Amino acid sequence: MDFNKRNKYNLRCSFCGRDKTEALILVAGIDAHICEVCVEQAQDIIDDELGKKQLSQGDFDIPDALTPRDIKGHLDKYVIGQDEAKRYLSVAVHNHYKRLEQPVGDDDIEIEKSNVLLVGRTGTGKTLLAKTIAKFLNVPFAIVDATVFTEAGYVGEDVESILSRLLQVSDYNVELAERGIVYIDEIDKIARKQDNPSITRDVSGEGVQQAMLKMLEGTEVHVPPQGGRKHPEQKLVKVNTSNILFVCGGAFDGVEKLIAKRVNTHVIGFKTVDEGEEIDRDHLLQYITQQDIKSFGIIPELIGRLPVLTYLEPLDYDALKRILTEPKNALIKQYEKLFQLEGIKLNVTDGAIKFIAEKAIDFKLGARGLRSICEAIMTDAMFELPGQKDVKEFTVDKDYAEAKLSKSKLTKLKAA
The domain 68-312: what is its CATH number?
3.40.50.300
Q: Cα–chain-centroid distance for residue 34?
A: 44
Q: Look at residue 151 in the predicted model and tell me its pLDDT.
A: 58
Strands 245-250, 116-120: pairing kind: parallel
Question: What is the C-alpha to C-alpha distance for residues 23 and 26, in angstroms, rounded to an integer?
Answer: 6
Question: What is the C-alpha to C-alpha distance for residues 25 and 125, in angstroms, rounded to an integer?
Answer: 54
Pair 296, 258: CB distance under 8 Å: yes
Three-state SS at 88: helix
The length of the chain in residues reads 416
Long-range contacts at 387-391 (CB < 8 A, ≥ 24 apart) = 391/344
Using the 8-state DSSP alphabet, how is residue 414 labeled? -
Domain ranges for the chain, please list them: 2-56, 68-312, 318-412
Q: Look at residue 232 in the predicted model and tell me its pLDDT.
A: 60
Pair 176, 244: CB distance under 8 Å: no
Q: Look at residue 197 in the predicted model and tell me its pLDDT.
A: 55
Residue 116: Cβ-neighbour burial (10 angstroms; 0-12, 13-18, 19+): buried
Q: Look at residue 413 in the predicted model and tell me its pLDDT.
A: 52
The mean pLDDT values, 10 residues at a time, for the chain of 416 residues are 49 87 86 89 79 47 72 90 90 84 68 87 85 82 82 62 86 87 88 60 69 86 71 76 90 86 62 54 80 89 91 88 89 92 92 91 83 91 87 91 83 48
Report angle CA 142, 144, 145 to the nearest 5 degrees. Answer: 165
pTM: 0.72
**What is the sign of the dihedral through the CA atoms of 372, 190, 311 and 91?**
negative
Secondary structure E strands in 109-240: 116-120, 141-145, 181-185, 220-223, 237-240
Q: Look at residue 204 in the predicted model and tell me its pLDDT.
A: 57
What architecture is the 318-412 domain classified under in CATH? Orthogonal Bundle (1.10)
Q: Look at residue 203 in the predicted model and tell me its pLDDT.
A: 55
Is 318-412 in the same CATH topology as 68-312?
A: no
Pair 369, 375: CB distance under 8 Å: no
